[in-house]
Structure 1
Amino acid sequence: MTDSSSKFQPFTLTLANSATLTGRSYTPSGAGKKNQPLLVLLHGGGCHAGYYDVDEDHTAAATAHALQIPVVSINRPCYLGTSSLFPLPENSSFHRETGRLEHSYIFPALWKTFGLPNNCSAIVAIAHSMANPGLLVAASLHAEGGNPEYPLAGLIISGWGCRRNSDSQEFWIKLSEDEHKQNRHIVMLSDPKYRTTDDKMRLCLPEQTVEPPPEEAEECVIGPWAKHFPDIAASISVPVMYAVGEHDWLWEGTFDNAREFAAFFKNCTRFDGSVVQGAPHAIEWSYYAAGWYARCFGFAIEVATHLTVMKESPFR
């Protein structure tokens, strides 16, 4: 389900709670430099770990190779061989349980397996779309302290926001479930008139699409996520980098959306927010993928370095 020339290799881990985690990883031969982060990549709804590794023009491996940074792309809970979250505990939800699993078991296992052996200084997590709620829960739990089993230097968030795209909502409400699936290319890559990517990327959609657990979307559309989000965001202390594509089909690709989203992160030590001009919901599948990855890796190196320097500083 990925390009034959891929640098990524599949892996399977058994977590401390006996759950299974699957995914793919790439560790460049020159990895091991001081202050380097371990990048953990989290795919969106209906996707899988291959989201970040479609072909040679749309892969995190190219930037990882250039900068000699190890990367791990996981299949989130309930996706492609990674254990299910169900049944959900009473008084909990899909994204709360995802975040708890990431914080308590997934990130510690990735740190021990890929971070420590490669002399990484911290994890920086990148989430797209429906992966964001769970990651935000995990980061809020990390901020609570209690001697976490992994260092977290920062978050990178895209394909999410506060303001839904009103044009797309009007479009989708008229469609049946089958028509939604037939038009998935518009969700990910926007209307072809915007020319966000090569036509070949639209042909990749079938192998990049899997059936998502309906609960993850329901929690955000008709569930309690909007109510809980402000407190979760306000509790996060690590630096956050945020971007939305100008032509995102689900969220408003506007500076007003970016500013409104940023305002909830009242206690993070740094917030970088932007609109990626010309980009769709799936920035990683667009013409802007290489530039976006370069920015993500650059941010990750900066915040991982800062975390190390502050720990080593005699003035702290």
Structure 2
Amino acid sequence: MTTTRVDLPVDGRRIAGATSGAGTTGAPLVVALHGGGYNSGYFDVPGHSLLDLGAATGFPVVSLDRPGYGGSDPLPGGRATFGHGAEALDAAIGELWTHYGEGRPGVVLVAHSIGSAIAVHIAARRPRWPLLGISIHGVGDRSPEHIVGAWRAMPTDEPVELPPEQRRALLYGPAGTVDADVVELAKASVETVPLGEMLEIVGDWPRNVAKLAAAVVVPVQYTLAEYDGLWIVDESRVATFAGHFTSAPWVDARLQAGAGHNLDHHRLSRALHLRQLAFASECAARVPAARDQTVDSAKIT
């Protein structure tokens, strides 16, 4: 399906991305944030495209390039952190809302991996535009020691590029969970990873996630894959991570069997994306109900 490029001015810099169309009137605006080592094309891999599914089901989906990826300008030196990335994307989504928000109930963030960490940062900021909920996957709060050690042993003076065989081993599940050509199909969206992102996701992020998550006041959908090679995966880790969102009105947490870290490229990607869009629809449907309850409470008092 044809996509349209998006360019947003943010404090003299550009945040770019792609959209599959305006969607149905009244549907929430879905904004997707990719992880490390991929650009916005992560959500538009042939046969696994969230943008295509959004267009087919009436949801306007915009996949953004995070700062320093794709067509988005990098953050200035010393500011390439999750917090500053969230600040830039908060402003960019505000611009998106100005242009695409008319007649819509609000925005739902769908995010993967490092993008999920940044989505939590954005939600914790409580943005001025109407955030309805966040659907995050491919992120946890404890990485295996060999992953932490590997990232910390990387050369500090250059970005990291994972070779295809390492990308296949770390980011995808067993052969039965993916099509044989998926790594090649996703290659067009692959980029190098700033080492700072890899160090922050195994350093500051695990230390700060509980405090950040406790500041999130919108619904949360959380998914961690059975074969995720970057996180410690079991039911207790899923429950612990979900439990950080103490202020969210509700949390839907799930350990997803039959997939690896890049859930969006596995054979069950359509099921994942349909669940995410259903979550977006539920978040939007609850807005009038919450508003009505507020009005009724005002009448009682």
Q: Same fold (TM over 0.5)?
A: yes
- The TM-score normalised by the length of structure 2 is 0.89
- 1:59 to 2:49 alignment: yes
Alpha-carbon distance in 2 for matches of 1:176, 1:218: 10
Residue matched to 1:40: 31
Alpha-carbon distance in 2 for matches of 1:296, 1:75: 20
Contact 1:102 1:135 in 2 (8 A): no
Alpha-carbon distance in 1 for matches of 2:247, 2:24: 32
Corresponding residue pairs, total: 291
Residue matched to 1:101: 88
- Name the CA shift for 1:179/1:111 in 2 (closer, same or farther; >3 Å): closer
Residue matched to 2:179: 198
Alpha-carbon distance in 2 for matches of 1:21, 1:279: 31
Task: Give how far 1:306 is off.
Answer: 0.7
Question: Residues 1-316 of structure 1 correspond to what in structure 2 (within 5 A)?
Answer: 6-15=1-10, 17-27=11-21, 31-33=24-26, 36-55=27-46, 57-88=47-78, 94-103=81-90, 105-116=91-102, 119-142=103-126, 148-165=127-144, 169=147, 180-182=162-164, 183-192=166-175, 195-221=176-202, 223-313=203-293, 314-316=295-297
Contact 2:110 2:135 in 1 (8 A): yes
Alpha-carbon distance in 2 for matches of 1:53, 1:288: 15
Gaps of 5+ in 1: 1-5, 143-147
Deviations 1:189-235 (A, max 9, x none): 1343xx211011022243221112221111122x4222222111111
Gaps of 5+ in 2: none
Contact 1:185 1:205 in 2 (8 A): no
Q: Which has the larger displacement, 122-131 or 107-116?
A: 107-116
Alpha-carbon distance in 2 for matches of 1:217, 1:262: 22
Contact 1:246 1:252 in 2 (8 A): no
Kindly report the root-mean-square deviation, in angstroms, between the aligned alpha carbons of the 2 structures.
2.4
Query: Which amino acid is the alignment partner of residue 260 of structure 2?
Result: P
- Name the CA shift for 1:23/1:203 in 2 (closer, same or farther; >3 Å): same
- The TM-score normalised by the length of structure 1 is 0.85
Task: Give how far 1:263 is off.
Answer: 1.4
Task: Give how far 1:87 is off.
Answer: 1.7
